[in-house]
Amino acid sequence: MKSGLFLLLGIFSSIPLSRSQENPDSLAVIQYDQIVITANRLPIPLKSTSSAASLVNLDVLKAMPRTVAADEALRLVPGIRIDNQANGSRIHMSIRGQGILSELGIRGIRVFWDGIPLNDPSGFAPDLYDVDWATVDRIEAVRGLSASLYGGSASAGVLNIITRAGGDGPAEAKIFSSTGSNGFAKLLAQVNGRHPGGPDYRISFSRARGDGYRRHSAFWSNQFSEKIGWAPKAGLKLTQVLSIIGYFNQNAEGLNAAQVFQNPKQPNPDAVPFNEYQKTRRITLGLSGSCDLTGNQELDFTIHYRNADYKEPGSRAVKYRDIRSPGGSVQYVWNLPIGKFRNRLLVGADMQFQTMDETKTANLKREDRAEEIGSFDETVREDTVLLANQTIRQRGNGVFVMNRLEFGEKWNATLTVRRDDIRNQLTDIRNQTGNLSGKADFEKTTARLGWVVSFSNSANLYANWGQGFLPPATEELASNPASFGGFNANLAPATSSGFETGLRGMACGGCSYDVTLFRMDTRNDFYRYRILPGRPLETFYGNAGASRRHGLESYVSLKVSDRLNLTSAYTYSDFKYTAPDSIRSNRLPNSPEHQWAAELECAILRNVTVGLGAELQTKWSIYTDKLHQNIFQDGFRLIHAHISYRWEFSGLKGEISLYGKNLTDQSYIAFTEPDPDGNSYQPAPRREFFATMTFRY
């Protein structure tokens, strides 16, 4: 009965609305046939895209109360689940169940920031700190098996984050500030513009901090970014981006059920004595370009370099990493008609390299540590015992071919094939208890075939079949159950194949929708385990068996009137193991059967907008116990609201907004770690309030 109700609630999928430029008191529909998705290697209109895809536009991004967390930006995208442990600093993101096991970082999702990949050569994206969400213009989310486009790091889909360009005028200044519950504060300053006949530019800097809901979950961040775009000559476009970030977040770790009941704000008993935290300093520099060669041939390229310093005191060891990551890609597009049909052929290559120098030293417990909420103590008590000293060199190369054939205005088909070669080599420098040097290499060819029938703007039928390839990434490989150093030699890649079909379009001029049904079969699925009692607080990975995943993703945007619109996103997930027999029919962890989010927005007065939001997740599996039974966590229902006032005076534009999150003050668990030691629960904040102010001149 409940399943049927949820399916009825989420029977559609959508494209967001925006504010009308002609009448700022009304809400206008984004023209469906004008939306272009670039995440599929070629810029393709959404109506002609064979993949399940969503666009997050600027109006949705401007409604973020803090602009620090991806869960706020992607809250109305179906098929994506994001667990926010604390302040957005440690999120878990998954698409169709890919990435559900990561203790930190993002797995199986290819993430781009202005064309620069945030994944390393193994497919691991450590975080999204490069992204200052207050500077983002739009986000393209492509769901489904996309390994044939971007390799193993895209076995679940692609997240393409595009920041704002300089604008049309010579100069514009922007100040944004946000403050609210749990000591949160953020301030951003930005200058952007366009020189007549010259480049456009955007330069921004932000500082954020917060105490966190739980003790020992404080954070701070400094983010500088700039973007310059110019066209030196006809047919050549270049974009240069730079990001410099510093990020520090305390790690409160998970609690067991008894500790949550006693005090959900407390940290894990080991978190403060070991002063657990993560600290990152990173510089990312990138250049992308497009060159029109002959009118029917085009060359696109990107080059990038990333340097990072990372420190993480854990419950047993202090981890230091110095990471250097160059890379680039090139693709050649040839418009090659076949008879009277338009045909585009694309060939290209991706190249990524990474060198990581890593050391681990023992971290001694300090029972007398007394840490106050909000303090940023970065001292640790280290032993002289060197647990590991090693260098990891990685290389990820891929070559690909895509052919898109258009049979007139209504039919098209796209075929992609890719070959990936991923190399990981570890050199053990410590070499005291036996040489732990080794390598882990993975190769795979993947393909995808998609087709679209565009009847009209009101109905477009699409379908595709594809393959996925998820090799063990840096974190899985470096978590060695046999030693503090070396690779985990017992891991194999997970491989998938799947099919999806959907219908999207615009009905009655004010309702845009998108419904997708999918199935995915995976072999060598990963699982997590602990070693008790030897290394009880470390996480290790293995291959569990096989799984079958069915689901429905939908989203509707309905313009009820000029002043009122409703947006709703719904995801149904039926993810179960099919092998081995001991866990057959058990649910995959961290995958609620039903996930729903909705927002009602109303322009009640001139320049005044109010909104009411809701989100729901049903119960989900945490892990499988020794009797091979699922252990479940209850879901939650949350209510949010906001009100915004816009004004303009003598060229100065401003906006003031108030937000309330979890207005009913629900106590719930934001995230559960699939670990059988009991420290699985991450309590979420209760009722929160935030206020933002934006000034533009």
* pLDDT tens, position by position, 598-641: 999 999 888 999 999 999 999 999 887 776 788 899 999 999 99
Name the more confident of 87 and 195: 195
pLDDT at site 677: 63
Please give the Cα distance from 496 to 509 (Å, whole number): 39
- Between the ranges 47-61, 73-87, 229-243, where is the mean pLDDT highest? 229-243
Q: pLDDT at position 22, please?
A: 42
pLDDT digits (tens, 9 = 90+) for 200-234: 999 999 999 999 999 999 999 999 999 999 998 88
Query: How many whole angstroms separate alpha carbon 150 and alpha carbon 190?
Result: 33
Report how far apart, in Å, the C-alpha atoms of 176 and of each of 190, 202, 335, 514 are.
9, 15, 44, 34
Identify which of 459, 563, 578 has the alpha carbon closest to the alpha carbon of residue 515. Answer: 459
Rounded Cα distance, 671 and 84, in Å: 7
Whether the Cβ atoms of residue 86 and residue 208 lie closer than 8 Å to each other: no
Q: Assess contact for 598 and 569: CB atoms under 8 A.
A: yes
> In whole angstroms, what separates CA 440 from the centre of its chain?
26
Map out the domains of the chain with their CATH numbers.
2-696 (2.40.170.20)
Residue 170 has a pLDDT of 87
Task: Provide the pLDDT confidence category of residue 9 given band limits of 50, 70 and 90.
Answer: very low
pLDDT band of residue 478 (cuts 50, 70, 90) is confident
pLDDT of residue 208: 95
Q: What is the pLDDT of residue 377?
A: 80
Please, are residues 138 and 46 in contact by the beta-carbon 8 Å criterion? no
Q: Is the pTM of this model over 0.85?
A: yes
- In single-letter form, the type of residue at position 308 comes to A
Q: What is the pLDDT of residue 113?
A: 96
Question: Please, which pLDDT band fits residue 32 given cuts at 50, 70 and 90?
Answer: low
Of 128-132, 343-347, 520-524, which range is least confident? 128-132
Return the structure tokens found at 268: 């894990």
Instruction: Average the pLDDT over each of 118-127, 363-372, 407-416 and give the range with the smallest value.
Output: 363-372
Judge whether residue 57 has pLDDT over 70: yes
pLDDT of residue 87: 64
One-letter-per-residue 3-state SS of 299-321: EEEEEEEEEEEEEEECCCEEEEE
Q: What are the structure tokens assigned to 501, written together?
A: 């079909």
Residue 28 has a pLDDT of 47
Written as one letter, the residue type at 495 is T
Placement of tokens 């009991």 in the chain: 678
Range scoring the smallest mean pLDDT among 72-76, 98-102, 508-512, 567-571 = 508-512
Residue 18 has a pLDDT of 47
Q: How many other CB atoms sit within 10 Å of the CB of residue 111? A: 24
Q: Which residue has the higher pLDDT, 97 or 408?
A: 97
Q: Mean pLDDT, the chain, as a whole number?
A: 88
Q: What is the per-residue pLDDT for 374?
A: 61
The least confident of 83-97, 139-153, 595-609, 616-630 is 83-97
As a whole-number percent, the residues of the chain with pLDDT over 70 amount to: 92
In this structure, of 158-162, 251-255, 526-530, 666-670, the range with the lowest mean pLDDT score is 526-530
Q: Mind listing the pLDDT tens digit for each residue in 293-315?
A: 887 899 999 999 999 999 999 88
Is the predicted pLDDT of residue 693 greater than 70, yes or no?
Answer: yes
Give the pLDDT confidence of 447-476 residue by residue, as tens digits.
Answer: 999 999 988 878 899 999 999 989 998 888
Q: Which amino acid is at 546?
A: A
- Name the band, by pLDDT with cuts 50, 70 and 90, for residue 560: confident
Question: What pLDDT is recorded for position 673?
Answer: 84
Split at pLDDT 50, 70, 90, the class of 33 is low
Mean pLDDT to the nearest integer, 30-51 = 83
Do residues 264 and 667 lie in contact, with contact meaning Cβ atoms separated by under 8 Å?
Answer: yes
For residue 664, pLDDT over 50 is answered with yes
Encode pLDDT of 605-617 as tens digits: 889 999 999 999 9
Tell me: pLDDT of 72 over 70: yes
Q: pLDDT confidence of 30, banded at 50, 70, 90?
A: low
Q: How confident is the model at residue 26 (pLDDT cuts 50, 70, 90)?
A: very low
- Residue 3 pLDDT > 60, yes or no? no
User: Residue 557, SS3?
Assistant: strand
Model confidence at 15, in pLDDT bands (50, 70, 90)?
Answer: very low
